[in-house]
A and B are shown apart, each in its own frame.
Chain A
Amino acid sequence: MVRIVKEATLMIRDALLIAKKDVRVEISSRVIFGQVLPFSLLILILFGLAISSDLIVTGDAKRTVLEQVSPGLFWLAIVFSSLFAVNRSFKIESDNGNLDALRMAGIDPAAIFLGKALAISLLIFILDLFVGALAVVIFNASIIDFSILGVTVFAATISISMSGTLYAGITAGSRSKDTLMPLLLLPTMAPMLLIATRSTEAALFSEDQTGWGWPMLLSVLAFLYTGIGMLSFGALMEES
């Protein structure tokens, strides 16, 4: 029992170290904030150009098409940007054979997984804030339930980064990883996108009475992806 606790604390310490390293790399290189964040803001603006701003009636409410679909658009922008964030996170590792070095240092694969995923979560979380702020302004959305929205953003971000890290691990080291990783990751994100959109609708639109069902389901999903990732990363990292 004591040993398990000791191993767990050691694993969490290693994970935090790796996460801290990744955040430091980002602070000095500014790839996410300099390139990916402007990209995601641009996607939102392009959505605004592509989708009509006609008024539609849903139930008692009357709002523009753009406002009605804004939850989905917001999460689509985040999903696409997260592909770049995940790719970037593994590029800094695999370019210099750093993953091998981490393994040879005797670090638990689960700790590597958790560390990478935590750093990606933090970066995507900051993306969420900026993209969300712009979405509220340009799509004219009004937030009704902040607590539902908070849980949604948190759980969705965790699910995105956990599943992203897992698939980046599967494709790491391959020359075709830049195209292969999105092919694997996007279908996996389909349920996440769906649930996060419903959940955000519940936080935005008063006539949507689904309440806490969707955010709860999203949290379950986040736990599920964290578990799957930590369990399978050992088998993935064994060789490389």
Chain B
Amino acid sequence: MNDLRTIVSVADESEEIFINTDNDDSERSGPTSTRSESTTVFGFLAIATFVPLVFFGLLVAEPHSEQQESVKLMFIHLPSVLVTYVSFFCTLVCSILYLTKKSKFWDLLAGASAEIGVLFCGILLLSGSLWGKPTWGVYWQWDPRLTSTAVMFVMYLGYLAVRRMDIAAEAKSRRAAVLGIVSFLNVLIVHYSIDWWRGLHQGRTFESSEIKIEGWYLFSLMFGMLFFSFVAIWMVIHKFRILWLEYQLERMDLELAINERRSEVNDLDSSIDADEEELLFGGGS
């Protein structure tokens, strides 16, 4: 609460308004800056896992007999798959919770995790096609997994665009929540339909190029998973706090505007009263 006031007092004259109109305490007691104890912890954990990831992944792990150095893209690619799916699943759960509980917290968390999900989905597609060029000879294959990931990427870009729509905040949150649920269903529909399409026509592309993940590969991959998870959690917390502060700022602006209008009306009232007195009593003497 005290921290919030220091932030608030930075904005001119708004401290008074903030205190005067403080009628909803539960909505107020949120983060006040994007840094917190948990982000410090996750930040250090991320650094602590990054060093062994680089060391074991780039220096210790041997190049693959067929895929050479490109096999090491796996340490980026597979963790981004994990982070992407967990983020979008988190958006789904938060959207459902927003619609049932109507708390802004879930709405903002859904938005934050979707944004991080889109980022890692981009990394996933990029690292995948960089790996595909030396391995398959092409950047892109019409494989079910690739195709449905690309469609999913665009779908969640659309979700983020809906979160920036220019309509009333509450309506926007509700529509975003509906979209968060529907998008996840759509990802499933897209995945299975494309899977079946390829299942009827040709075998999976991946099966032929499967490599055994063991030894140093597995060890480095583990650090990759940990590093990406910690970075993603760190990012989601920061993003959530940015969204929360933006939300508080919007509310403050609204209250400021309302109070200004109110004081304008009061001034107007008192000046009208004075005029009326003058009229009625002939301006005194």
Contacts and interface: CB of A to CB of B under 8 A. Distances in A.
Contact of B186 (A170, A187, A195, A235): A187
Contact of B171 (A186, A187, A232, A240): A240
B69 interface: no
A183 B179 CA distance: 13
A170 B162 contact: yes
A190 B151 contact: yes
Interface string A174-187: 11100010011011
Contacts of B186: 187-188, 191
A186 B186 CA distance: 12
Contact of A184 (B174, B179, B189): B179
A183 to B, nearest CB: 5
A149 interface: no
B11 interface: no
Contact of B178 (A170, A173, A188, A217): A170
A187 B189 contact: no
B158 interface: yes
* Residue among A188, A194, A235, A240 with max Cβ neighbours from chain B (10 Å): A188
A191 B193 CA distance: 6
Given A232-B178, A235-B177, A236-B178, A221 B162 contact: no
Given A170-B162, A184-B162, A187-B186, A239 B170 contact: yes
A171 B179 CA distance: 10
Interface residues of B, number: 31
Contacts of B136: none
Given A175-B166, A194-B193, A224-B189, A183 B174 contact: no
A190 B197 CA distance: 12
B263 to A, nearest CB: 30
Interface string B176-202: 011101100110011001101100100
Contacts of B168: 239-240
* Residue among A166, A186, A187 with max Cβ neighbours from chain B (10 Å): A187
A54 interface: no
A240 B157 CA distance: 24
A116 interface: no
B165 to A, nearest CB: 4
A236 B165 contact: no
Nearest to A180: B161
B48 interface: no
B166 A174 contact: yes
Interface residues of A, number: 29
B155 interface: yes
Contacts of B185: 228
A228 B158 contact: no
Contacts of B178: 170, 232, 235-236
B167 interface: yes
B175 interface: yes
Contact of B174 (A188, A190, A235): A235
B166 A221 contact: no
B47 interface: no
Nearest to B156: A187
A188 B151 CA distance: 8
B165 A171 contact: yes
A195 B167 CA distance: 35
Contacts of B151: 187, 190
B41 interface: no
B182 A238 contact: no
A210 interface: yes
Contacts of A183: 154, 157-158, 161
Interface string B143-174: 00000000110110110011001111011001
Given A186-B154, A191-B189, A236-B178, 12 more contacts: A170-B179, A173-B171, A176-B165, A180-B158, A183-B154, A195-B193, A198-B200, A228-B182, A235-B175, A235-B177, A238-B174, A240-B171
Interface of B: 99, 151-152, 154-155, 157-158, 161-162, 165-168, 170-171, 174-175, 177-179, 181-182, 185-186, 189-190, 193-194, 196-197, 200
20 contacts: A166-B182, A170-B179, A171-B162, A171-B165, A175-B166, A176-B161, A176-B165, A180-B162, A183-B154, A183-B157, A184-B161, A187-B155, A190-B151, A221-B193, A228-B182, A232-B181, A235-B99, A235-B174, A239-B170, A240-B171
